[in-house]
Every structure is written in C-alpha cells, then in structure tokens.
Amino acid sequence: MTKPTFSQRKGLEPLERGMQIESMDERLRNGLWNCLLGFSGYLRTSLYNFDFDHKRLGEEFDRINNAVIRGFWSVFFGNRLNEMRQHTIFPYQFEDYFNSLDWNKVYDFFEYFLELLESYVETDVIEMQSNCINSVLKRENSVYRLVNGIFTPITDKLEREAIEEASSEQDPFIGPSIHIKKAQKLLSDRESPDYHNSIKESISAIESMCRIITKQKKKTLSALVTKSVDR
C-alpha cells in the first residue's frame, strides 16, 4: 500500500512490517503464487501477436505449457515422467508442492521458472513475470529483488538501481552478459558466496567487453588494456 491504512494511522498496527530476510510469510508466498497464476494470461497475450489461426495458437500454447510442466515435474521436483498428470495448465498441479516448499526453495522455484522460460517464450512474457515478482517482493518487504533472473539481497535502493543499470547496459553483448550473470549468481549465495569465482567471472566480463570494443577476439585482458593505453 502507498499510504498508511486507518489502523496504522490510529496506531493500532505498525506503519512498516519487518524485512523478510530468511523467511517468507503467507502474504509474500501468496503474492508470488498469484504471479504464477498470471502466466497463462501473459503467454496467451504474447501468442496473439503472432499470425496464428485459432487452432495453431492453441497448439503453441499447449506446447509451451507442457514443456514448462515437464521441466518442473522431472527436473526441479525430480519425479517420474510416467506419473505426470496430463492435460493440466501450469501452475495448478504444483500448488501443494509450492505451499510445502521452504522459503529459500520458493526463490529456487522462480529462478528455475524464469530460466526455463528463456527457451520457450518472448522476452515480454519474462518481463511481465519479473515485474510482477518484484512488485510483490517490494510490497511485502522482502529484502530480495529479481535482477537478471537472479534473486539478490538488496537493502540499498541506489545499489539495486546501479546493478540494474549495469546489467541492462550489457544486454546487447552476449558474452559479457553471461559472465555478469554468473558472477552475480556466485555472489548471491548467502550461506557460502563464492567470491573467488565471482571475481574471475567479473574479470572475464571486462575482458570480453574489451575484445568487443577493440575487435581483438583472441588477446588477453592485459594485452587489450595495453593496446587501449597505447592509443
């Protein structure tokens, strides 16, 4: 909510709820689930932009829907494919699983979901999902934000904006973008962040960018920097 409620103005409820760091209350879990419920609508809207007849549109929707269900059933949850229910729409058949997941596994669920979507849908569907998720995270006082498909603990608004700006600038450059995403993922593990490999990936991103700028695909970072200085 953007303004205090009547109860908050009367001092009957706190103006702000505590930050959700290593927990997930029912409101946050329900809000994230509601984002999943919007997936079918986002997908159908995206498919309408193509020159499909009604039958072809339905077939394409089923293909993507079944691929997502199959991925979750067999890979994320590790179930047997012969036990998978047929003719269902994502995410309804996973509701019981979703409700039983620990708070951290819910975030794993969404990271896997967004990664899976990259192979099957247009970017606008992923953007709508990401916007919905971040809106819920902000509203329910989660310390995490979704940046480039990865949940990152962000406590400083300026820090988040800087990360998003840096990431968006890398988007046209596939190589550097991949290294940036890997570095971010290695660093985002609160239990055991891999600083060493995160730094290596960050350096690789710089090296990859320098190769693009100088058009020297095989030279090392030190040689590329030297070349730039000589200019």
- Encoded amino acid at 230, one letter: D
- Encoded amino acid at 77, one letter: F
Dist CA 103 CA 157 (whole Å): 23
Which residue has tokens 């949850």?
A: 77
- Encoded amino acid at 219, one letter: K
DSSP state of 50: S
Structure tokens at 17: 């709820």
Q: Write out the DSSP string of 8-26.
A: HHTTSS-SSPPPBSS---H
Q: What is the pLDDT of residue 180?
A: 73
Tell me if 53 sits within 8 A of 45, measured CB to CB. no
Q: What is the pLDDT of residue 202?
A: 78
Helices (H), the chain: 6-9, 26-37, 39-48, 54-71, 95-100, 103-117, 123-139, 157-170, 174-187, 195-214, 221-230
DSSP state of 85: P
DSSP state of 142: B
Q: How many other CB atoms are found less than 10 A from the CB of residue 116?
A: 18
Q: Is the pTM of this model over 0.75?
A: no
CA 31 to chain centre: 15
Q: How many other CB atoms are found less than 10 A from the CB of residue 125?
A: 21
SS3 3: coil
Provide the residue-wise pLDDT of the chain in tens; the chain has 231 residues: 457 778 877 677 776 667 888 899 999 999 999 999 999 888 888 877 666 677 787 888 889 999 999 999 999 999 999 999 888 899 999 999 999 999 999 999 999 999 999 888 878 888 899 999 999 999 998 999 998 889 988 865 555 555 555 555 444 455 676 667 667 767 766 667 777 777 877 777 777 777 777 766 555 666 656 655 455
